[in-house]
Amino acid sequence: MDAQLLRSTFAVVERRAEHAVTFFYAHLFWHNPGIRELFPEDLRPQRDRLFAALTHVVNRLEDPGLDGYLTHLGRDHRKFLAAPVFYAAVGSSLVAAFAHAAGAAWSVEAEKAWTEAYGRIADLMMRGAEEAAGRGEPPWWDADVVAHARRGVDLAVLTLRPRQPFPYRPGQYAGVSSLRVPRVWRTYSLANAPRADGTVDLHISQVPRGLMSTALVTGTRAGETLRLSAPGGALTARTEPGAPRTYVAAGTGWAPVKALLEEVASREDGTEARLFVVARAKEYLYGREDVELLKERIPGLRVTYITSAPHHPRDQATERLIHALPAFGNWPGHDVYLAGPPGFLHEVTPVVEDLGTDPARIFHDRLPAAGRLDTRPAGRAEWLIEPPALFWHDPEARDPRGA
């Protein structure tokens, strides 16, 4: 692939990102009307994710991990019922949208480069889908809701029982879909290590105007059926048994950390571990009972709770954590597992690095909330100075900046 030509044309298209994706979907649905039913009614989050995924690919054209990213993406797209004809239609509309948005910057050479690049992308994604199907993996797992417990006004813990074996590792996440919000998928961490009865927990925080989180927190009841996509994520255990490690969990970031600690507890290996549980206020420390039970099962676990002071802004909790971390020693000797909102990760990761932790030993997933493309900087120069947060989760890679 001509990486330089791809990047130069993409830089032009990027300045008109909102226009480009709007044209793309209009072109796709006009020429392939049957495809529209595969997409949710509200396309705005999907549009943002599409362009962010393209940004991810263009920025990593020479990255040896790109092939793995794309095959995983293809595996994940089976939940959208994406057939080969779908990939062909998307490719045609994508090139048309880029040509329209690039204007005079578009050329025969650019069209050839993008056609070839998309062909490679589609081939790798279809390979990932074919490999998953060859392993007998379903496009999604139907799972019955066996319990729904509220934890305060805007959080719920759902317990699901998949109807067939659902293999995953502690710390991973899965996409969740509900018939209450057709064709919409949202990603949530799996909040427990695998159990003998096969059930999994989800910790759902209600997002203002969030259709899926509202449906799951306030509407879903025991007896309903949800769908789970194939698990993914990089927040899995990397530390040798017994070696020291630190966990930092903010908000519902407690969910994957709880799963990781349950895995440690099952081994009884004398692990030296420290846990920081961060919440915007004391009433949001919803997992305290689980923490205390894990302390009993992991004698080497030391726990610190951090919240904002009463009547102070919620982000004060992050500030108090940052001021507390230097009081704890041997950061170079610890693996560090972080889970929480993207902004929290962005603030805490460099602090941990400054304390002496090797960036390669800081583990977290990128799960930013969907945003709007019109919040992106208008020019490439501005983008290079201050890259915007991508509205997409990278299933495998770990971004040490927490972007």
In 3D space, the residue among 372, 359, 364, 360 whose CA is nearest the CA of residue 344 turns out to be 364
129 lies in the same domain as 145:
no
CATH number at residue 182: 2.40.30.10
Per-residue pLDDT of 192-250, as tens digits, reads 999 999 999 999 999 888 889 999 999 999 999 999 999 988 899 999 988 999 999 99
User: Are 285 and 258 spatial neighbours (Cβ–Cβ below 8 Å)?
Assistant: no
CA–CA gap between residue 95 and residue 81 (Å, rounded) = 22
Last residue of a domain, one of 66, 100, 134: 134
Per-residue pLDDT of 137-170, as tens digits, reads 999 999 999 999 998 888 999 999 999 999 999 9
In 3D space, the residue among 158, 256, 169, 253 whose CA is nearest the CA of residue 199 turns out to be 158
Q: What per-residue confidence (pLDDT) applies to 314?
A: 66
237 located within any domain: no
Strands 301-307, 273-279: pairing kind: parallel
Count other Cβ atoms within 10 Å, centred on residue 107.
13
Decide: pTM greater than 0.85. Answer: no
Q: What per-residue confidence (pLDDT) applies to 366?
A: 63
Give the 3-state secondary structure percentages of the chain, helix then strand then coil, rounded to 5: 50, 15, 35
CA–CA gap between residue 374 and residue 355 (Å, rounded) = 36
* Amino acid, res. 390: L
83 located within any domain: yes
Structure tokens at 144: 């019955």
201 located within any domain: yes
170 lies in the same domain as 277:
no
Q: Which residues contact 340 (CB under 8 A, 6 or more apart)?
A: 248, 249, 250, 251, 253, 278, 348
The DSSP result for 315-370, as a single string, is THHHHHHHHHGGGS--GGG-EEEEES-HHHHHHHHHHHHHTT--GGGEE----PPP
120 lies in the same domain as 27:
yes
Pick the range with the lowest mean pLDDT from 32-46, 91-105, 378-392: 378-392
236 located within any domain: no
Count other Cβ atoms within 10 Å, centred on residue 199.
17
222 lies in the same domain as 313:
no
Helix (H) or strand (E) holding 57: helix 44-59
The boundaries of the domain holding residue 257 are: 245-367
Per-residue pLDDT of 96-115, as tens digits, reads 999 999 999 999 999 999 99
390 located within any domain: no
The DSSP result for 285-308, as a single string, is -TTHHHHHHHHHH-TTEEEEEEEP
19 lies in the same domain as 125:
yes
392 located within any domain: no
| 285 confidence band (pLDDT: 50, 70, 90) | confident
Count other Cβ atoms within 10 Å, centred on residue 192.
18
User: Are 366 and 393 spatial neighbours (Cβ–Cβ below 8 Å)?
Assistant: yes
User: Are 188 and 203 spatial neighbours (Cβ–Cβ below 8 Å)?
Assistant: yes
Q: What per-residue confidence (pLDDT) applies to 389?
A: 41
